[in-house]
C-alpha cells in the first residue's frame, strides 16, 4: 500500500482527542470487514486482551467494547453498574465530572456531588467525611485527567479510601489511559473507561471498559438502556468471541488494532508517557517565555493537555489567535472553565518535541495583539520625533 498517495493533514490537532494519527492508522481503514467473519472477530478478541494487559496485571479483569464515543462508555457503566437501590457519588472538578452527574440525573439514579472547584484537587479527608455521613452511597466515580483544565486527579489515594468503605469505584480514564502509567489493581478501580481516539492514538468510533469481572457479573438485568447494556455486550462477546450485539464500527476497530501495534512498537505506555511528558515540559517552558501563564500548579498538571490564562491585553481575541495558528498548521482548543478566560493545548497524538518547537515559533508569530501594541508605540515615537521639526514652521 503506497501511503504517499494520501496527503498529510493541513494541521496538527493539539487537542485531547480526536487527535493527529499516523498515516498507517488511517490507512488501516481502507479495507472493508464483515462483522461475522472469523478474522475480524479475532481482531476484536485480540484488542480486548491487549486492553486488559495494558490496564493491569490482575487476572480478574475483562474488557468490553461499546459503540459510540467516550461518553457512551461512561453512560453504559453508570446506567448498568448502579442498581435501583444504589446511589452514586461523583467527585467533580471540571466539565466531565459534571457530565457524569447529568448522566445519572437523566437516568433517574440518585447522585450526590463532591464539588472540588475547577482548579483544586480532591481532599481525601473530605471524601472520607462524605462517605461516613451518607451510608446510602454505593458507587464513587471520578475523572482521572479532567481535560477542562488538564488536572490529574489522585485516583490511587481516592481508590484506597473508597475501598475502605467497600464501595464500587469507577474511573473515567478517557484522556489518560495509554498515556499515563496505572494499574487498575493498584488503583483499586472496578471500572475504567476510555476511548479509541485518545492516548492509544486511534480514530473516534468506540469506547471501551475494563471491568473487574466479578463486579460486572453482578449487573445482569440492571441496565436502564438496551444499547448501553454493558453486561449484555460483555456476555455476547464472551459467548460469541469477538461478536458485538449490534453493528460494530469495523473500520475503526481495524485502525485501533493498528494503533495498539504502534503503541507496542514505541515501547508501550512508559515510552509514550515519556514522550508526552517531554512535549508538555517543552510546551510549558516555551509558553512561559512568551508570557503565557499555565492555569494549574505544576504538581496538579497532567502531561495530556494544559490550560493557559488568556492574555490580559485588550486586543486579544481567541478566534483570531486560533485562526492565525490554524493557518500555520496548528489547531488548539478553547477554554472550558466557568469563571476564567483560558485556552488549552494538548500534547497527545502523533505529536513529537520537534512539533512543539515549531508550534512555539508559530505561537510567537501569531501574537497579533503584541504587534499592535508595538505598532502603536512606534507611531507615538514617530509623532514625538516629528513634533520638534514641525515647530520650526510655526
pLDDT digits (tens, 9 = 90+) for 97-143: 999 999 999 999 999 999 999 999 999 999 999 999 999 999 999 99
- One domain for residues 330 and 363: yes
For 45-96, how does the pLDDT look when each residue is reduced to its tens digit (9 = 90+)? 999 999 999 999 999 999 999 999 999 999 999 999 999 999 999 999 999 9
- One domain for residues 137 and 259: yes
Report if residue 17 sits inside a domain. no
Contact 294, 284 (CB under 8 A): yes
- What three-state secondary structure class fits 67? strand
Average pLDDT of 348-362? 97
**Does residue 389 surpass a pLDDT of 60?**
no
> Cell 467527585, residue?
91
- One domain for residues 340 and 353: yes
- One domain for residues 119 and 239: yes
- pTM here is 0.91
pLDDT score at 338: 77
Looking at per-residue pLDDT, the higher value among 5 and 155 belongs to: 155
- What three-state secondary structure class fits 307? strand
- One domain for residues 162 and 280: no
CATH code of the domain covering residue 143: 3.40.640.10
Average pLDDT of 171-190? 96
User: Looking at the DSSP assignment, which residues form a beta bridge with residue 113?
Assistant: 90
Report if residue 169 sits inside a domain. yes
% of the chain exceeding 90 in pLDDT: 88
Average pLDDT of 280-295? 96
Count of domains forming the chain = 2
Give the residue numbers spanning the domain of 117. Answer: 23-265
Between CA 228 and CA 67 the distance in angstroms is: 9
- One domain for residues 61 and 127: yes
For 8-27, how does the pLDDT look when each residue is reduced to its tens digit (9 = 90+)? 789 999 998 899 999 999 99
CATH code of the domain covering residue 342: 3.90.1150.10
Of the pLDDT bands very low, low, confident and very high (cuts 50, 70, 90), residue 2 is low
- One domain for residues 314 and 253: no
Domain final position from 237, 265, 293 = 265
Report if residue 381 sits inside a domain. no
Of the pLDDT bands very low, low, confident and very high (cuts 50, 70, 90), residue 5 is low
For 300-313, how does the pLDDT look when each residue is reduced to its tens digit (9 = 90+)? 999 999 999 999 99
Name residues whose C-beta falls within 8 Å of residue 107's C-beta, 6 or more positions apart in sequence. 75, 78, 79, 224
Between CA 157 and CA 160 the distance in angstroms is: 5
**Does residue 376 surpass a pLDDT of 60?**
no
Report if residue 107 sits inside a domain. yes
- One domain for residues 170 and 131: yes
- One domain for residues 245 and 293: no
Report if residue 394 sits inside a domain. no
- One domain for residues 249 and 285: no
Between CA 139 and CA 81 the distance in angstroms is: 8
Mean pLDDT, rounded, of the chain: 92
Report if residue 389 sits inside a domain. no
**Does residue 364 surpass a pLDDT of 90?**
yes
Average pLDDT of 157-175? 98
Domain final position from 208, 238, 265 = 265
**Does residue 375 surpass a pLDDT of 60?**
no
pLDDT score at 387: 36
pLDDT score at 292: 96
Report if residue 1 sits inside a domain. no
pLDDT score at 370: 81
Report if residue 283 sits inside a domain. yes
Catalogue the E-assigned strands of 52-149.
Answer: 61-67, 88-92, 111-115, 139-143, 145-146
% of the chain exceeding 70 in pLDDT: 92
**Does residue 337 surpass a pLDDT of 90?**
no
Looking at per-residue pLDDT, the higher value among 377 and 203 belongs to: 203
pLDDT score at 289: 97
Q: How far is CA 292 from CA 14, 150, 287, 387, in A?
A: 17, 16, 5, 37
**Does residue 165 surpass a pLDDT of 70?**
yes
Count CB atoms within 10 A of the CB of residue 333.
18
Domain final position from 234, 265, 296 = 265
- One domain for residues 38 and 134: yes
Average pLDDT of 310-323? 94
**Does residue 391 surpass a pLDDT of 70?**
no
- One domain for residues 332 and 259: no
Quick one: which of 341, 304, 308 has its CA closest to 146?
Answer: 304
Amino acid at each position: 500500500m503506497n501511503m504517499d498517495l494520501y496527503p498529510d493533514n493541513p494541521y496538527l490537532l493539539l487537542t485531547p482527542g480526536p487527535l493527529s494519527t499516523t498515516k498507517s492508522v488511517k490507512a488501516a481503514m481502507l479495507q472493508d470487514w464483515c462483522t461475522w467473519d472469523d478474522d475480524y472477530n479475532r481482531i476484536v478478541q485480540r484488542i480486548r486482551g491487549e486492553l486488559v494487559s495494558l490496564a493491569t496485571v490482575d487476572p480478574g479483569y475483562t474488557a468490553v467494547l461499546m459503540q459510540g464515543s467516550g461518553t457512551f462508555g461512561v453512560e453504559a457503566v453508570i446506567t448498568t453498574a448502579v442498581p435501583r437501590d444504589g446511589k452514586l457519588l461523583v467527585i467533580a472538578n471540571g466539565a466531565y465530572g459534571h457530565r457524569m452527574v447529568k448522566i445519572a440525573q437523566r437516568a433517574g439514579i440518585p447522585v450526590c456531588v463532591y464539588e472540588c472547584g475547577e482548579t483544586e484537587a480532591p481532599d481525601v479527608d473530605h471524601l472520607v467525611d462524605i462517605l461516613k455521613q451518607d451510608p446510602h452511597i454505593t458507587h464513587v466515580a471520578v475523572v482521572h485527567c479532567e481535560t477542562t483544565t488538564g488536572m490529574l486527579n489522585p485516583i490511587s489515594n481516592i481508590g484506597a479510601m473508597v475501598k475502605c468503605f467497600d464501595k464500587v469505584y469507577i474511573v473515567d480514564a478517557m484522556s489518560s489511559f495509554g498515556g499515563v502509567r496505572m494499574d487498575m489493581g493498584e488503583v483499586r478501580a472496578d471500572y475504567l473507561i476510555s476511548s479509541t481516539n485518545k492516548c492509544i492514538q486511534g480514530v473516534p468510533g468506540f469506547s471501551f471498559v475494563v471491568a473487574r469481572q466479578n463486579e460486572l457479573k453482578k449487573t445482569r438485568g440492571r441496565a436502564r438502556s438496551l444499547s448501553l447494556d454493558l453486561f449484555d455486550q460483555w456476555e455476547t462477546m464472551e459467548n460469541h468471541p469477538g461478536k458485538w450485539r449490534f453493528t460494530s464500527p469495523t473500520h475503526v476497530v481495524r485502525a485501533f488494532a493498528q494503533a495498539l501495534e504502534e503503541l507496542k512498537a514505541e515501547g508501550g505506555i512508559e515510552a509514550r508517557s515519556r514522550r508526552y511528558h517531554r512535549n508538555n515540559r517543552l510546551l510549558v517552558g516555551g509558553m512561559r517565555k512568551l508570557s503565557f501563564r499555565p492555569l494549574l500548579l505544576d504538581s496538579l498538571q497532567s502531561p495530556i493537555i494544559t490550560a493557559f490564562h488568556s492574555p490580559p491585553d485588550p486586543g486579544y481575541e481567541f478566534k483570531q489567535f486560533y485562526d492565525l495558528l490554524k493557518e500555520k498548521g496548528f489547531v488548539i482548543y478553547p477554554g472550558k472553565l466557568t469563571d476564567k478566560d483560558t485556552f488549552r493545548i494538548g500534547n497527545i497524538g502523533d505529536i513529537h518535541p520537534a512539533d512543539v518547537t515549531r508550534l512555539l515559533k508559530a505561537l510567537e508569530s501569531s501574537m497579533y495583539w503584541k504587534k499592535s501594541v508595538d505598532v502603536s508605540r512606534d507611531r507615538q515615537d514617530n509623532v514625538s520625533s516629528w513634533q520638534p521639526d514641525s515647530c520650526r514652521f510655526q
